[in-house]
Amino acid sequence: MKNITFKLREGVKSHWGNELSANDIKWSWVRKLELGGIGGFFASIIGLNNPDQIQIVNKYVVSFKLDKPASLILKVHRNPRNYIYDSKKILESTNDDDPWGKKWISDNIAGFGPYKMVYLKREEKFIAEKHTEYWGKEPSIDRLVMLQETSSKKRAKLLLNKKVQIAQFLDFKDIKSLINKPEIEIDKTQSSNMVWINLNCSKPPFNNLNIRKAMNIIFPKKDAVNKIFLGYGRELKGVIPDFYPGYLNVTNIPDHDIIKARDLLKNEGYAKGFETYCIYDNSQFFMHPLLLLYKESLKKIDITLNLVGLEHEDYFIQLQSRSHPMKMTRYAPWCADTAYALAVSFLSSSLGNYTHYSNLEVDKLIQNALTESNYQTRLKYLYSIQKIISSDYPWVNICNPDFIIARSSNIKGWVYRTFNHTKAQDFYLSG
C-alpha cells in the first residue's frame, strides 16, 4: 500500500503524563530522517524520504503518503527499535544545540510502555516501576531491577543463590550446570539468531568468489554446534532464519572439505595460503572459542588467522569499517520478514551490510520486494535474492544458536520474540 492512515487510541499516556498524539508520530519519524542511523534505515525501507509524506489529519489521525507501495509499512511500526517518542517531554527537556534531544534521551526514556525507568547507573543497575497510566493490560510485576554482571558464571550463581530470578545470555556450560537444580527452570527455543563471519567482499583476498567459497568449506560447522554450542543450536543452512516466511533452503552451501578448499585456493593463486585476521566481540562468550576452532581448521590449508578481540562498544564501531578483512557477528532480523532481513544484511547501502557486499541485481530485487504487494510475486523476488547471495558466499555460515533463559521456577509467562529480548510485562509470579 502507498497510502495508510492510522487512527490512534485516545488517552494513551506517556511516562511523563502526556497524551500520545499524531504530532508525536510525525515528530518521531522526522527525527529518524534527520538523524539517520537505524531510524533512517527504517524510513528508507518504506520509501519515506520527506517529512511532507506524513500528514497530521487531527490530534488522533496521521497519514503516510508514499510514492510507492511499502510492503513493510505495518511491520516496521512493530519493530521495538522503531521508537515513537513523547515529543512534548523531549522538546521541553532540550535546547537549540540539541533539537532532537540526543543527549537527554541517552539518559532518559520518553515512551508509552508498561514500565517507567526510575533509576539508572550505567554498567551497574537499572530500575523500572509499573507505569500506572499504561493503556494496555496491567503488568503483573510492580518493580523490575536489572543488574549488569559481565561474568556468565556469576550470573548463574546469582540465580542459584536466589539473588535474581532470571539469568540471560549464559555460557552453554553454565546452562548445563543449572539443569535439574531445585527451583530453577530452563526455557529454550529455536531462535532467529544467526552466527557467521563477514568476509570483506570489497578488497583482496575476499573480493574473490572462490576464496570466499574456500573459507566456507573449511569451517567445521558440525564441530562448532556440538563442541562450542553443546548442541544448543543447528547448522546455518541459509541467509535468513529458517522459520521466516519466504525462507529458501540453500543446497549449495558445501560441507567441510579440506581437499576442495585447498584446490580452490590453488586455482586462484593462493597455493601457499595467506595471513589474515578477524575481529570479534570480547563480551560474546562463544566468539573466541569458535574462532580458535576455525583457526586450527584454516591451518590445514596454510591460512594463518589472527584473532583480534575488541571491547563491546569499540567492536560495534569497527563493524562499520571497511578496513577489516573478517568480522564475526551474531545477528537476528528483528522484523520477521524476509525482505527486511535481506535488506539489513545485503542491500549495498545498509548500515548492517558488514561484508560490504555489493550486487546491483540483488539491490534491485530487494527494492522490488520492499514495494511489492502481491505475495506470490514477492516470494519469487525473495527466492531469487537468496539464490544469488548463497552463490556469492559473502559470509562464512556457522549456526543458528538457540535462545535460552534460566529462571526461578516461580517466574512464569516467558514468550519468545524474534528480536531475542525478553519483555518484562510477559512475566508473572506463581506461588
Over the stretch 313-363, which tens digit does the pLDDT of each residue have? 999 999 999 999 999 999 999 999 999 999 999 999 999 999 999 999 999
Rounded mean pLDDT, 226-246: 94
| Confidence tier at 255 by pLDDT (50, 70, 90) | confident
Helix (H) or strand (E) holding 88: helix 87-92
Residue 424 is classified by DSSP as: G
Q: 254-258, 322-326, 416-420 — which one is most confidently predicted on average?
A: 322-326
Residue range 94-131, pLDDT digits in tens = 998 999 999 999 999 999 999 999 999 999 999 999 99
Residue range 150-175, pLDDT digits in tens = 999 999 999 999 999 999 999 999 99
**Alpha carbon separation from 329 to 31, 278, 312, 343 (Å, rounded):** 28, 11, 12, 17
Pairing type for strands 326-331 and 194-199 reads antiparallel
CB-based contacts of 107, cutoff 8 Å, min separation 6: 120
Residue 225 is classified by DSSP as: I
Q: Is the pLDDT of residue 302 over 80?
A: yes
d(CA 148, CA 156): 13
Residue range 375-404, pLDDT digits in tens = 999 999 999 999 999 999 999 999 999 999
Query: Minimum mean pLDDT among 20-34, 67-81, 173-187, 252-266: which range?
Result: 252-266
Rounded mean pLDDT, 264-269: 98
Please state, rounded to an integer, the average pLDDT across all residues of the chain.
Answer: 96
At residue 251, the pLDDT reads 67
Query: Percent of the chain, pLDDT > 70?
Result: 100
Three cell numbers written together for 380 = 519469487
Domain 194-401 annotated CATH 1.10.10.10: no
Q: Is the pLDDT of residue 49 over 90?
A: yes
Domain 115-189+405-429 annotated CATH 3.40.630.30: no
HSE value, Cβ hemisphere, 13 Å, CA-based, for 266:
7
Rounded mean pLDDT, 27-52: 96
CATH fold, domain 3-100, is Dipeptide-binding Protein; domain 1 (3.90.76)
| Residue carrying the nine cell digits 515512551 | 111
At residue 198, the pLDDT reads 98
d(CA 241, CA 156): 28
Q: Is the pLDDT of residue 134 over 70?
A: yes
| Confidence tier at 249 by pLDDT (50, 70, 90) | confident
Q: Is the pLDDT of residue 367 over 90?
A: yes
At residue 431, the pLDDT reads 72
| Confidence tier at 1 by pLDDT (50, 70, 90) | confident
| Confidence tier at 250 by pLDDT (50, 70, 90) | confident
Instruction: For CATH 3.10.105.10, list the domain ranges present in the chain.
Output: 194-401
Instruction: For CATH 3.40.190.10, list the domain ranges present in the chain.
Output: 115-189+405-429
